[in-house]
A and B are shown apart, each in its own frame.
Chain A
Amino acid sequence: MNLFFQNIVNGLTLGSIYGLVALGLTLVYGILHIPNFAHGALYMVGAFMSYFLMVDIGAHYWVAMAGSAVIVAALAVICERLVFHPLRHSPPIHDKIAAIGILLFLEAVVQMFWGSDFRRMSSPFTGIMNFDGLIIPEQRALIIVGALVLVVALQLFLRKTMTGATIIAMAQNREGAFLVGIDANRVAMMTFAISGVLAAFAATLYAPINLVYPAMGHIVIMKAFVIIILGGMGSIPGAIVGGMIIGFAEAFGGFYISTSYKDIIAFGLLVLILSVRPQGLFAKGAH
C-alpha cells in the first residue's frame, strides 16, 4: 500500500513538471500556431542558468530560479522577434525547421560553455517529510506545490489582468482581436515570455532530483508534445490533465511493467492515440 502511495507521489511530481512544460508549449501553439520544437531547449537553458547562478555565482536557490526565469523569458522573446515573427507568413514547414535550428544552436552553445557532462544541482530542500510511513522528499513536495501555485497564478493573470485578457482574446479569435485593436506583436512576445518563464521554473524545480546536461530537453519536449496532443493542442486544462496522465502512466508503468521501457510508454500512448483519434483525446478548444 505504501509503495502505491509512493508511486502516486512520483506520478504527481512527474506530472507537475511535464504539465508546466506542456503549458508553455500549448500556450504558444494555441495563440500563435507554432509547434515550438525549441521549447525543450528553453527548458534546458533554464536548468543551466539556475545551475550557473547557484553553483558558479553562489546565489540562493530562489534567486537563481527567478534569474533563470528572466533570462529564459528574454531568450524566448528574442526567438519570437528574430525567428518566428519574420516567418509568420511562411509555409508551416518553415517555422518547424527554424525551431529545430534554434534547438541545435542553444544546445551547441550550452555544450560549448559547460561541456556535455552530467551535472548535479542541489537545492536547500533536502529534507524528507514523513507522514505516518508515507515518505515525501521536500523537493518533490516543492515541485507539486510550486506547479500548483504557477498554474493558479497563470489563471489569475489570464483572467484578471488586461494583458491576460488580450492574450485570451487572440487565442479565441485572431481576426476579432485584430479588429478591436489588439497589438498582435505584444501578445506574441508576452506568450513567448510566459512559456519561457514556465520552462525555466519547471527546469529549476526538477533539476535537484534529476541531472543537468545539454540533451536533457529532448525527452521532456517530446513528452510535452504527447501531452498537448493528448489534451488537445492549445488547451490549458488539457495540458495539466495530460501532464498528470503521462506522469502517472510513467510512474506506475515504470514500477509495474518495466523501468527501461518507461520512456516508451508515453510515445507508445501517442502513437496509439493518434492512430485512433487524430484530433487528440479531448475536443480542441482554446481554453
Chain B
Amino acid sequence: MLFKLASLFMHPAFKYALIVLALLFPLFASNEYQIYVMASAFVWAIAVYGLNIITGFCGQLNLAHGGFFAIGAYTLGLLSADYGWSFWPAFVAALLMTALLGFLVGVVSLRLKEHYFAIFTLCVGFIIYLLLDKWEELTHGPIGVRDIAAPNGFGLVDFTQTVPFYYLVLAFLVFAMWFMGKLSRSLLGRTFVAIRNGDELAQSLGINLMRNKTMAFVLSTTYAGMAGALYAGMIRFIGPEEANVQHTFDMITYLLVGGIGTISGPLLGTVGIVWITQSLQFLEEYRMIIFGPLLVLLVIFFPRGFVGSFLTWMHRQSQKRAAPSKKKESRVSTGKGVENNA
C-alpha cells in the first residue's frame, strides 16, 4: 500500500503536476508576501541546483558558491545602478562574468586533490567577500548597491510586481531543472558521476578529469550567477553580506536535506526549509542551532538526503517485488548513480 502510494511520486506525470501546482500557487496564496517568499525560495533553488552539479554530481565540495552568487548579483547591480544598463543585458553580463570567473577559479583549483579543493574555495569565497567589502571605488563597500534595475517587461509585463516576477523566476527554475535533467541523462552528466566515484577510476576509463571538472564548475557558477542576478533584480539592493559564507552553508544544508545528486531533491529541500524557517519566525534567528546538528545527522544517517533515501527505499522495495518473478526490470537506477526520476 505504502509502496503503491509512494510510486505515484515516481510517475513521469508527477513533475508536470508539480509545475501546474507552482503555476497555480499565486491563486491560492493567502497574501502577496507568501508569493514573494516562494519566489525567493525558487531563486535559492536555482543556486542550489548549481551546487548540485559540482558537489552532487562531481563530488567536489565547493565552499565559494555563495561568492559566485554575490558576483552575479553585483555584476547586475553595478552595471545597472552605476552604468545605466537595463536589466537583460546586465543579466547576460552577470552570467558571462560568473562563467568566466568560474572558469578561472576552476582551472586553478580543480587540479587540487582531496580536501585542498574545499579549503581553496573557502578562501576564494572569503576573498570575494573582502573585495566586495573593501574595494569601495568599485563596489561602494559596506553601504552596498542601491537602485538596481528591475527586469524589463518590454511594456508588456511589469516585473516590479510580485506575481509577474514570481512567474519569471519560475520560468528560470523550470529551465534550470530541465537542463539539469537533460544533463544527468547525458554522457557529460554520467561522466561527472564517474568522477565522483573516484578520480583514478574515471581516468582509467579515459575521462579527461580537468576538462570535465572545469565544465561542471563553470556550469555550477553560472547557475549561481543566474540566481544572484535574479535575486538582485528582486531585492534591488545588495551588500557585501551577500557573499557571506553563511549563504554557502545554507545552500549546502538545502542540498543535503533534499538529496545530494538528485533532480528533485534540491528544489524540495530549498522550498521546504525556506518555508519552515519563514513560518516559524523564531527559527530565523536560531536556525543554525537546528541546521548544524541537522547537517551532522544527515551525513551520518541519511547521506543521500530525503529524496535520495526515498529513492533508495523505493528501489529496494521494487527489487523485493521483482525478485520472485524477475519479470520487470527496475526503472530506478541502482541508487549510486544520477537519479532521473521523481
Contact = CB atoms under 8 A, between A and B. Distances in A.
Contacts of B245: 218
Nearest to A258: B134
Q: Which of B109, B124, B300 has the most CB of A within 10 A?
A: B300
Interface string A94-111: 111110111111111100
The winner among B119, B256, B286 for most chain A CB atoms within 10 A is B119
Nearest to B303: A94
Contacts of B118: 35, 96
A75 to B, nearest CB: 14
Contacts of A53: none
B206 interface: no
B26 to A, nearest CB: 33
Interface stretch (A5-13, A187-195, A222-230, A246-254): A222-230
Contacts of B112: 274, 278
B119 A225 contact: yes
Interface stretch (B88-96, B159-167, B174-182, B290-298): B290-298
If over half of B's interface residues share one DSSP class (helix, strand or loop), that class is named, otherwise mixed; here it is: helix
Nearest to B295: A101
Given A229-B119, A270-B123, A108 B292 contact: yes
B249 A104 contact: yes
Contact of B292 (A90, A94, A105, A271): A105
B130 interface: yes
A267 B124 CA distance: 8
A278 B115 CA distance: 11
A92 B299 CA distance: 11
B310 interface: no
Contacts of A100: 249, 252, 295
B111 interface: yes
The 9 residue pairs across chains A and B that have the minimum distance between CB atoms: A105-B292, A101-B295, A108-B288, A104-B292, A101-B296, A35-B115, A108-B289, A94-B299, A104-B288
27 contacts: A86-B300, A90-B303, A92-B114, A92-B115, A94-B300, A95-B299, A97-B252, A100-B252, A101-B291, A101-B294, A101-B295, A104-B249, A104-B288, A104-B291, A105-B288, A108-B288, A218-B126, A219-B126, A222-B126, A225-B119, A229-B119, A263-B130, A267-B123, A271-B120, A271-B123, A274-B112, A278-B111
